[in-house]
């Protein structure tokens, strides 16, 4: 077999492959055997018809088609290995020549992993917020604990922020009732922002028995993105009374005997949380600086795949109704064109992150142990409320285990960069985060992403781009989450092909089908 490679761009190559028919003899043997078993020819038992009889009865083109379909994926793989390129996604294959008895020629265009020059890790310097815990922080934590033991007492006054109210709600769009927005006797904490936009502002100042109307934009359901007229009626008003913060409360709410001991414990716990938040901030800012300093050519097919996945996820929230999505986007003060542009930008950032962290992982020899992979799987299973066995089964069915492995590897690669970078606090003094970023970038068995409540990151999906579409050290679906399906730029496609041969001319039309596509979420 002879093959040549032409670099069409930093991210795309064209392979030209020529295979002598002598190399295809095993393929012809298998093809004749398979076809003989599928047809019935008088005078021959099933599977025993000789090759020349099959050629006479069925035509040489049938055999050639079977041979080409089987041979091209294997020969494509050999050509890729010889060219020492790393394919990304599915190749576009074209059979250019079939000279029966002589040679098979075809070309394959495919996106490839680009050459990337990684910036010097030590040159990266970022600043993070202070992790010191103030007395005010401790007081806030104590008030939160008091609130858990508070009691609700009815009051005869206007509603204030922080009150608990029982309300009736109804909504109409263009005069028609919105069924999913009708409710009675609902309990709600004013100021929590847990219900529809504008409700908390409308409630403040109302009294029991009063009704008020206001306008809001619905964000879900059949009328998502449209303005609705909402009517709210207050049935009752209650305020939360907090227990006195003293030694007796400390004994009630904790294992400590005194309030001072409880406060010391709250300070210690919150210091640990702020430390992990500081670590998350360092990770995100280091990643941002790393991406800004690196020049990463982006394979268009991989980017486009990520764009399509994200667009699908967006419209899925609106029952795949593009018009509803557009209405919602416009209700948020953004045009659909701006939304689409932003979506593509985040997709490009996600792919750039994947490629860069994969390169760093390759250069530094990052390895993922079985235990690390299982820890990620168990953590994700807990996040989504399923057993590890069920999560693994779902990941296998969605072909996601490779993407989970890649996420863990990228997280470890980023931890390597964070360790080498200079991290300073607001005062300019170095911040030591070594206890947070081991080689696995873990904190007490948890990834830094999981240790802080809520995703701090990409994605797919949040504040910082990740390697799945979304989250760097997080797994599929993190905030990004199992939520399906960004393109994993690390997996080369191994194509199978379907070829229809014109028996009269010996030419062929090829359509690549069934090439595996790795996704970043489950």
DSSP string for residues in 461-510 = --SS--TTSS-SSS-TTBTTBSS---B-TTPBP--EEEEEE-TTT--EEE
Number of domains in the chain: 3
Nearest to 208, CA basis, from 168, 160, 158, 162 = 158
User: Rounded to 5 degrees, what angle do the CA atoms 360, 440, 402 make?
Assistant: 65
**End of a domain among 209, 224, 241?**
241
pLDDT band at 438 (very low <50, low <70, confident <90, very high): low
**Domain contains 195:** yes
**Domain contains 102:** yes
**Domain contains 340:** no
Claim to verify: residue 218 and residue 257 sit in the same structural domain:
no
* pLDDT score recorded for residue 179: 85
Claim to verify: residue 99 and residue 132 sit in the same structural domain:
no
Claim to verify: residue 141 and residue 269 sit in the same structural domain:
yes
Claim to verify: residue 383 and residue 252 sit in the same structural domain:
yes
List alpha helices for 168-258, DSSP H. Answer: 199-203, 247-253
* pLDDT score recorded for residue 175: 86
**Domain contains 317:** no
Claim to verify: residue 269 and residue 403 sit in the same structural domain:
yes
User: Per residue in 314-372, pLDDT tens?
Assistant: 999 888 889 889 988 888 889 999 999 999 999 999 999 999 999 999 999 999 999 99
* Domain span at 198: 151-241
Claim to verify: residue 108 and residue 132 sit in the same structural domain:
no
Claim to verify: residue 131 and residue 166 sit in the same structural domain:
no
Pairing status of strand 422-424 against strand 125-127: parallel
**Domain contains 44:** yes
* pLDDT score recorded for residue 218: 84
Claim to verify: residue 84 and residue 133 sit in the same structural domain:
no
**Domain contains 321:** no
Nearest to 520, CA basis, from 442, 428, 407, 437 = 407
Claim to verify: residue 387 and residue 292 sit in the same structural domain:
yes
Q: How many residues does the chain have?
A: 522
Highest mean predicted confidence (pLDDT) among 46-55, 161-170, 427-436: 161-170
Claim to verify: residue 127 and residue 273 sit in the same structural domain:
yes
**Domain contains 496:** no
Range 357-382 burial, b when 16+ CB lie within 10 A, else e: bbbbbeebebebeeebbebbbebbbe
Residue 222: pLDDT over 70: yes
**Cβ contact 215:196 at 8 Å:** no
**Mean of all residue pLDDT scores within the chain:** 82
CATH number, domain of 236, equals: 3.10.50.40
* Placement of tokens 């005062």 in the chain: 427
User: Per residue in 154-213, pLDDT tens?
Assistant: 999 999 999 999 999 999 998 888 888 889 999 999 999 888 889 999 999 999 999 999
Claim to verify: residue 76 and residue 182 sit in the same structural domain:
no
**Cβ contact 47:37 at 8 Å:** yes
**Domain contains 518:** no
96 phi and psi angles, rounded to 5 deg: -100, -25
Claim to verify: residue 207 and residue 81 sit in the same structural domain:
no
Count of CB atoms situated within 10 Å of the CB of 296? 20
Q: Which of 472 and 132 is assigned the larger pLDDT? A: 132
Strand partners, 177: 172
8, containing H or E segment: strand 2-9
User: Per residue in 367-406, pLDDT tens?
Assistant: 999 999 999 999 999 998 999 999 999 999 988 889 999 9
DSSP string for residues in 315-380 = HHTTTT-HHHHHHHHHHTT--HHHHHHHHHHHHHHHHHHHHHHHHHHHHHT----HHHHHHHHHHH
CATH number, domain of 12, equals: 3.30.70.1050
């Amino acid at each position: 077999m002879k093959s040549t490679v032409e670099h069409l761009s930093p991210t795309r190559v064209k392979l030209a492959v020529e295979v002598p028919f002598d190399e295809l003899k095993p393929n012809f043997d298998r093809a004749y055997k398979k076809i003989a078993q599928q047809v019935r020819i008088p005078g021959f038992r099933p599977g025993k018809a000789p090759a020349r009889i099959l050629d006479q009865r069925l035509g040489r083109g049938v055999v050639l088609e079977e041979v080409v379909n089987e041979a091209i994926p294997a020969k494509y793989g050999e050509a890729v290995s010889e060219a020492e390129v790393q394919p990304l996604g599915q190749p576009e294959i074209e059979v250019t020549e079939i000279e029966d008895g002589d040679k098979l020629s075809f070309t394959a265009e495919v996106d490839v992993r680009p050459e990337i020059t990684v910036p010097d890790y030590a040159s990266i310097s970022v600043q993070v917020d202070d992790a010191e815990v103030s007395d005010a922080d401790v007081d806030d934590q104590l008030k939160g604990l008091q609130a858990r033991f508070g009691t609700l007492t009815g009051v005869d006054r206007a509603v204030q922020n922080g009150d608990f109210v029982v309300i009736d709600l109804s909504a109409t769009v263009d005069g028609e009732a919105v069924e999913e927005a009708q409710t009675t006797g609902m309990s709600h904490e004013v100021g929590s922002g847990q219900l529809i936009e504008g409700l908390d502002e409308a409630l403040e100042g109302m009294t029991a028995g009063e009704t008020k109307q206001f306008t809001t934009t619905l964000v879900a359901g059949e009328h998502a993105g449209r303005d609705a007229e909402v009517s709210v009626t207050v049935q009752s008003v209650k305020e939360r009374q907090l227990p006195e913060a003293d030694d007796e409360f400390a004994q009630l709410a904790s294992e400590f005997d005194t309030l001072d001991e409880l406060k010391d414990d709250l300070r210690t716990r919150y210091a640990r949380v702020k430390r992990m938040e500081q670590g998350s901030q360092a990770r995100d800012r280091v990643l941002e600086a790393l991406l800004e300093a690196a020049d990463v050519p982006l394979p268009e097919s991989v980017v486009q795949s990520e764009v399509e996945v994200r667009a699908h996820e967006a419209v899925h929230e609106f029952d795949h109704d593009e018009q509803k999505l557009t209405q919602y986007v416009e209700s948020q003060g953004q045009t659909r064109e701006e939304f689409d542009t932003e979506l593509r930008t985040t997709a490009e950032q996600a792919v750039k992150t994947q490629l860069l962290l994969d390169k760093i992982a390759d250069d530094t020899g990052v390895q993922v142990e079985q235990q690390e992979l299982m820890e990620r799987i168990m953590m994700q299973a807990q996040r989504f409320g399923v057993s590890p066995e069920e999560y693994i089964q779902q990941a296998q069915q969605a072909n996601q285990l490779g993407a989970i492995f890649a996420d863990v590897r990228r997280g470890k690669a980023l931890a390597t960069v964070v360790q080498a970078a200079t991290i300073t606090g607001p005062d300019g003094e170095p911040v030591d985060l070594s206890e947070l970023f081991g080689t696995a970038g873990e904190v007490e068995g948890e990834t830094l992403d999981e240790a802080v409540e809520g995703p701090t990151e990409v994605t797919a999906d949040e504040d910082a781009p990740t390697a799945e579409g979304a989250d760097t050290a997080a797994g599929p679906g993190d905030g990004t989450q199992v939520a399906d399906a960004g393109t994993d730029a690390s997996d080369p496609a191994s194509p199978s092909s379907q070829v229809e041969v014109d028996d009269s001319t010996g030419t062929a039309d090829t359509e690549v089908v069934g090439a595996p596509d790795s996704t970043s979420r489950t």
